[in-house]
Amino acid sequence: MNKLTTLGSAKPTILVVEDEVPLLTLLRYNLEKQGFRVEEAVDGNEALARVAEGRPDVVLLDWMLPTLSGIEVCRQLRRRPATRDLPIIMVTARTEDQDAVRALDIGADDYVAKPFAMDALLARIRAVLRRAGTVAQKGQVSFFDLMMDQDAHRVMRNGRMLHLGPTEYRMLEFLMTHPGRVFSREQLLDAIWGRDIHVEPRTVDVHIRRLRKAINGPGEADVVRTVRSAGYALDRPEA
Ligand code: CA
């Protein structure tokens, strides 16, 4: 079954913002083949106008654009209540990890670096759609083979009760409610410890290590992905 059909009968719409026309054409071809409806914009101002006309399900947003940069478009979309939670994937020609983190800092849900493999891009798009479309039962969050009962403060993996320290619990709760998304150490610090508390970014690594130890039983796949120089994400293990 096509994964997209679970999201509803309508085809998900992707707004592709890209000034390189050959790439735009290639993206349209591949995305339509995968069952998406594709809208196009070739510069930043047009992107904002398109979103105002009709909210897409995902925006694939190039970083370097005429009139208004992708970063600025993302910032503006995040500032508006109507588009604050609109899924945005930044596409960047830059390879520095700092730029990737910057994209996340200004509110992008994810990013891909050019040149990208179409399969990888499609996986990212599906992941943000899944996240956006997930209406979790209140008090219960599940991801892969993990199940968290937020009222009882209990976490199970494969039916086995996990024993987590309070920080690991909060970290896992945060990651489970934002699966697939890469967070920098600083973002995790802000989310878990709060902005006012000064904690060394390295502390995050320590808690991630403890979290892994607590949740990954013998023979179980690691669901915590380390993204070198960028941070961590909760991801389905690769087969
Ligand atoms: Ca460009």
Handedness of CA 42, 51, 57, 146 (dihedral sign): positive
Determine the distance separating the centroid of ligand 1 and the alpha carbon of 38, expressed in angstroms. 18
At 109 the pLDDT is: 84
Task: Give the Cα separation of 45 and 76 in Å (integer).
Answer: 11
Q: What is the 3-state secondary structure (H, E, C) of 175-223?
A: HHHCCCCCECHHHHHHHHCCCCCCCCHHHHHHHHHHHHHHHCCCCCCCC
For residues 176 and 143, the answer to whether their CB atoms sit within 8 Å is yes
Peptide bond into 115 cis (omega under 30): yes
Domain ranges of the chain: 13-132, 140-234
Q: Is 235 helix (H, G, I), strand (E, B) or coil?
A: coil
pLDDT values of the chain reduced to their tens digit, one per residue, 239 residues: 333 433 444 688 999 999 999 999 999 999 999 889 999 999 999 999 999 988 899 999 999 999 999 999 999 998 888 888 888 999 987 666 677 777 788 888 888 888 888 988 988 898 888 777 643 344 788 898 999 988 778 999 988 999 988 888 889 999 998 888 899 998 898 888 776 667 788 889 989 999 999 999 988 999 999 998 899 999 988 76
Task: Give the Cα separation of 44 and 17 in Å (integer).
Answer: 8
By the CB criterion, residues less than 5 angstroms from ion ligand 1 are: 19, 62, 64
Among 223, 233, 54, which Cα is nearest to 143's? 223
Determine the distance separating the centroid of ligand 1 and the alpha carbon of 26, expressed in angstroms. 14
Determine the distance separating the centroid of ligand 1 and the alpha carbon of 23, expressed in angstroms. 10
Which pLDDT tens digit goes with each residue over 18-66?
Answer: 999 999 999 999 999 988 999 999 999 999 999 998 889 999 999 999 9
Q: Compute and round to an integer the Cα radius of gyration of the chain.
A: 19
Which pLDDT tens digit goes with each residue over 207-227?
Answer: 999 999 999 998 899 999 999
Determine the distance separating the centroid of ligand 1 and the alpha carbon of 123, expressed in angstroms. 22
**Total Cβ atoms within 10 A of residue 54:** 9
At 95 the pLDDT is: 64
At 137 the pLDDT is: 43
Determine the distance separating the centroid of ligand 1 and the alpha carbon of 97, expressed in angstroms. 18
Per CATH, which fold does 140-234 belong to? Arc Repressor Mutant, subunit A (1.10.10)
CATH of domain 13-132: 3.40.50.2300
Phi, psi of 3 (to 5 degrees): -55, -30
At 36 the pLDDT is: 92
At 147 the pLDDT is: 92
At 73 the pLDDT is: 96
The contacts of residue 210 (CB under 8 Å, 6+ apart) are 165, 167, 168
